[in-house]
Structure 1
Amino acid sequence: MKRSSRARIGATAAVSVLSLALVTGCGGGSDDDAKESGSSKEAGASSAASSAPAAKAHSAAELEKLLLAKGDVAGYDVDPGDDTLPKAKSAVKADKSACAPLAYALSGLPPADTDASANNTVTSQTSTPSPGEADIEDAFNVDMTIVGLSSYEGDGAEKAVKAVSDGIAACSGGFGIAAEGENLKITKVAAGKASGKGDQSVAFAVNSDMDGEGTATFNVDVVRVGSTVSTYYTVDFASLGSGKAATVPAAVLDAQVTKLK
């Protein structure tokens, strides 16, 4: 059994399906993307203004090739065919339209409206279980990062980043997500420290209610390189429920941004 599968099984035994709704692929989201709702100060964002014309958008097929692949990041496995990840946005519903870009970023989906997208999972190689090993604790010794790529025509990529940035302020008090018939409650959203990578970046942290079993904190990074936006959301199964925030591994983010340049 692959480590990523063992991690999911172990996590399911420890936490409710609500707290894993985003981790295991929520199923897809709404085509009712959040509309731009006026201008607001970008929270937690780092940008590098460019006078160059907007780059042409990549196709979905091109984005698949730009995703991290096996051997791209030392110490990590890449699962390009992970069928737990959402392929569309029709089943991910945020109860506040301004929060939809955040919900999509948590699911590896495009923060804004585009048909050009791709995603996969990148899993740490910190655990090397022997065949037939039954120690369930070992299944938690892993972190899994959902990486999403989306590409846009014109200034669509800049607008996608802005939609995320605007959502951080608008959704600070939390919001709800409905996915696969389950409901997930985000109790708090706060600006994070942007990576400063690419042409523009923004970061945020969410607190998620674990069905009465405490709160889990997750950090999300969003980076724009030209016409392409990459999103990163990591689950550290070992620390899930401990109160320790799960952070996006710098090696994963750096490798993906480099591949997009």
Structure 2
Amino acid sequence: MKIAGNRRALGYGGWVLALGVVLLAGCKRDAEAPADAPAQDPTAALPENVDAPAAPEAPVELRDVIENSPKAVIGISYPQDVSQYPGLAKALSDYATAARGELQQAVDGLGNDTPTMPYELSLSFEKLLETRQLVVISADGSRYTGGAHGEPLVARFVWLPEQQKLLTAETLIPDTKGWAAVSDYVADQLRERVATRLSAEDMEPGQLQESLRSASRMIADGTGASADNFSQFQPVTDPQGQITALRFVFPPYQVGPYSDGTQTVDVPASLLAPHVAPAYAGLFAKG
């Protein structure tokens, strides 16, 4: 509005009146403008015992690897469609990268030498379970850098799609009391298994007792009441997708000699239920 240019034409009183109209209109617009709404907390509506979903990860492309050289052989394979879970794909990629990095460190240590047998990394990821609530991936393989045999590579990844994060042993069962119950059950199962196997062998009584004592020591060391000893596990589910047991996985050397291979023990949901964190109780079958 050309108020200044028309001041003389309007006269002093008219100019003041026009200016008042402009100011009044401006005040009215300010009064009508809504105040900024308070910021909303995206987790405010979540129950107290449910963790907020993690921030989405950037997409990760997983590609199988096959490489051969005089010094090293590398083979890594991934299941299809895992990239739809970016956080899970990143966890698999990170595990494979770490395993490959340790192999490369050993290869670099050779300098200009070439090993009699090429060093080797063999690693296979497989999808064991996929439901609305759970995606479970196994990683099995070995890394050979000399010696009589390779180093076992054993890992399990339990992904929660709704929360976009991995389910770990320490978050699933958060207290020592719970792990003590798991430890007692698993140790008893392993000791019974060893006793049955050794009793079937043709051994002198003294040799049998010594073998049982040695096996019991390894089992006790590998099944202490700590989440670290039970970090590798995979859910066993019913047709409705509810967890009926957890299969704890123990790589060679943890609870037995290399010759015993990877061992597993299924712990029923009925034993686990009293100790599972409330946020994950809904994953388990009732009764």
TM-score, length basis structure 2:
0.27
Structure holding more strand per residue: 1
Question: Comparing both structures, which one devotes a greater share of its residues to helix?
Answer: 2
Larger radius of gyration: 2
Which of the pair has the greater relative contact order for Cα pairs under 8 Å at 6+ separation?
Answer: 1
